[in-house]
Amino acid sequence: MGRPLLVRLPNWLGDLVQAWPVVQAAGLDRSRPALFLGPASFAALVGPRFASSEYISWSRARRFASAGEIRRRRPGTALLLTDSLSSAILTALAGIPERIGYAAEFRDLLLTRRVSRGIPSRAAPRVQEYLHLARAAGLEVEETLPSIEALQEDRDAAASLRRQAGIEGEPFAVLAPGATFGAAKRWEPAKFAALAAALHAREGARSVLVGAKEDSEPAREVARIAGACTVDLVGATDLPALVGLLDASILVASNDSGVMHLAAALRKPTVGVFGSTSPVWSAALAPWVRSLYAAYPCSPCFRRTCPIGYGCLRSIDATQAIGAAVELLGTARLPTSAS
Ligand code: SF4
C-alpha cells in the first residue's frame, strides 16, 4: 500500500458532484488510501461511501490550520481540485512531496506538476476538466457521468423530515429556488411557484422547497405565491437528509446549483435553470436532465449580479419548465425493458 493520496475537494457542492468520478476513483483505489480535504459539511456525503478513506475538514476561516494534521498522515501526493493559491500553500506547508493541479492564481512555483488545460477554462464540461486533471495524477478514472446512490441513513433522515412536515407517504417534487452564488443564478420565485402549482394540479404532488438558510427569502416568496402546495424545508436539511429527499422525490427543479447536480447524480428527473453561467461548462449531461438556458448575447457572463436587468433569466418562462417537467415525468413512467 502506497502513501496516501490527498484530494483537495472543491468548495461548492455542485463542483464536488461534478468531480465525483474522480472522488470515486481515489476513494476506491486499492494501491493507496485516500485522504479527502474539504468543507466539513461534505464529510457526511463522502465519508460513509469510502470506508477506507479519511476526511479532514477545511474552513476558509482557518485555511492553514490543518497542515499539521495532514502532515501526520504523510500523503505522498496532493491532487488539487481547486484552483486556489491557498490550497497549494497548505499542501506545501504540510510537506506533501508531489503537488498536482491546474496552473492558476500565482501558485505555479508551489506545484510540482502544473497541468495544462489543453483548452481554455470553461470551454468544456467541468466533469471533463476534473477527469483530465485526475488522469494527469495517475488515477484511473472512467469516462462516466457522476453517479451517487442514496444510503439507508439518507433515506432515514429524509423520512424523519417528511414525518415532521406532514408529507409522509405523499408524492412530492423538490424545488431549489435559491443559489448561494448570487442573484444572477436565481430564477424568479413566481415562476417556481407556477411550476409548483402545475405539479400539484397534474401530479397531485406538493413541492418541497430546499436550500441553505441564505435561500430562505426566495423560498418564502415561492411559498407565499404557491400557498399550500409547497412545504418549506429551507435550512432544515443537512446533506444526508437532502440526498434522501431528492432520492424519494418524483422530480427536481433547481437553479444551476448543488441541488441540480446532486439530483442528476441520483438519476432523478431534473429541470435546471441557467442564468449567468454556462450549460456547456456546468450542465448535468444526463438524459434525465433538461437545462433551460436563454442564449443572450452577453451570456454566459459568470457574474453574481446583473448590471442590465437579468434578461437571461427573465426570458425563461414558467411554461418551459412545466413542459420539461411533464416530458421528464412521462419518460420516467414509461416501462423499461427490465420491468
Ligand atoms: S449580463 Fe447578461 S448574461 Fe449576465 S446576468 Fe445579465 S443578462 Fe444574464
Q: How far apart are CA 173 and CA 283, in angstroms?
A: 20
Q: Average pLDDT in the 318-336 region?
A: 86
Q: How far apart are CA 29 and CA 83, in angstroms?
A: 24
Q: How far apart are CA 29 and CA 52, in angstroms?
A: 10
Question: Is the shortest distance between the CB of 210 and ligand 1 below 6 Å?
Answer: no
Question: Is the shortest distance between the CB of 316 and ligand 1 below 6 Å?
Answer: no
Sign of CA dihedral 123, 125, 126, 131: negative
Q: What is the pLDDT of residue 210?
A: 97
What is the tens place of the pLDDT at every residue in 255-290? 999 999 999 999 999 999 999 998 888 878 899 999
Q: What is the pLDDT of residue 325?
A: 97
- In this predicted structure, the answer to whether residue 228 has a pLDDT above a threshold of 60 is yes
Q: What is the pLDDT of residue 13?
A: 95
What is the tens place of the pLDDT at every residue in 190-199? 999 999 999 9
DSSP lists the bridge partners of residue 172 as 206
By most ligand atoms within 8 Å of CB, the mutation choice from 181, 281, 292, 296 for ligand 1 is 296
Please name each of the domains of the chain with its CATH number.
5-136 (3.40.50.2000), 152-333 (3.40.50.2000)
User: What whole-number percentage of the chain has pLDDT above 70?
Assistant: 98
Question: Is the shortest distance between the CB of 23 and ligand 1 below 6 Å?
Answer: no
Report phi then psi at 163, rounded to 5: -60, -50
Q: How far apart are CA 16 and CA 23, in angstroms?
A: 8
Q: What is the pLDDT of residue 332?
A: 72
278 closest CA partner among 264, 295, 290? 295
Q: What is the pLDDT of residue 339?
A: 39
Distance 256 CA to ligand 1 centre (A): 14
What is the tens place of the pLDDT at every residue in 284-303? 889 999 999 998 889 999 99
The cell for 213 is 438558510
Question: Is the shortest distance between the CB of 296 and ligand 1 below 6 Å?
Answer: yes
73 closest CA partner among 4, 156, 166? 4
Q: What is the pLDDT of residue 119?
A: 74
Distance 295 CA to ligand 1 centre (A): 10
Which residue, by CA, sits nearest to atom 6 of ligand 1? 306
pTM exceeding the 0.85 threshold for the entire prediction:
yes
Residue with cell 420565485: 189
144 closest CA partner among 245, 274, 17, 268? 17
Q: How far apart are CA 243 and CA 246, in angstroms?
A: 5
Longest CA–CA span in the chain (Å) reads 60
Q: How far apart are CA 281 and CA 124, in angstroms?
A: 6
Confidence class for position 337, pLDDT limits 50, 70, 90:
very low
Q: Print the SS3 string covering the chain.
A: CCCCEEEECCCCHHHHHHCHHHHHHHHCCCCCCEEEEEEHHHHHHHHHHCCCCEEEEECHHHCCCCHHHHHHHCCCEEEECCCCHHHHHHHHHCCCCEEEEECCCCCHHHCCEEECCCCCCCCCCHHHHHHHHHHHCCCCCCCCCCCCCCCHHHHHHHHHHHHHHCCCCCCEEEEECCCCCCHHHCCCHHHHHHHHHHHHHHHCCEEEECCCHHHHHHHHHHHHHHHHHEEECCCCCCHHHHHHHHHHCCCEEEECCHHHHHHHHCCCCEEEECCCCCHHHHCCCCCCEEEECCCCCCCCCCCCCCCCCCHHHHCCCHHHHHHHHHHHHHHHHCCCCCC
What is the tens place of the pLDDT at every residue in 155-198? 999 999 999 999 999 999 999 999 888 999 999 999 999 999 99
Q: What is the pLDDT of residue 143?
A: 80
By most ligand atoms within 8 Å of CB, the mutation choice from 310, 313, 314, 315 for ligand 1 is 310
- In this predicted structure, the answer to whether residue 121 has a pLDDT above a threshold of 80 is no
Question: Is the shortest distance between the CB of 299 and ligand 1 below 6 Å?
Answer: yes
Residue with cell 470551454: 123
Q: What is the pLDDT of residue 26?
A: 95
Confidence class for position 334, pLDDT limits 50, 70, 90:
low
Q: What is the pLDDT of residue 61?
A: 80
Q: What is the pLDDT of residue 196?
A: 97
Ligand 1 atom at minimal distance to the Cα of residue 184:
5
Confidence class for position 335, pLDDT limits 50, 70, 90:
low
Distance 241 CA to ligand 1 centre (A): 33
What is the tens place of the pLDDT at every residue in 33-85? 999 999 999 999 999 999 899 999 998 888 888 999 999 999 999 999 999 99
Q: How far apart are CA 87 and CA 51, in angstroms?
A: 25
Q: Average pLDDT in the 317-330 region?
A: 96
- In this predicted structure, the answer to whether residue 135 has a pLDDT above a threshold of 50 is yes
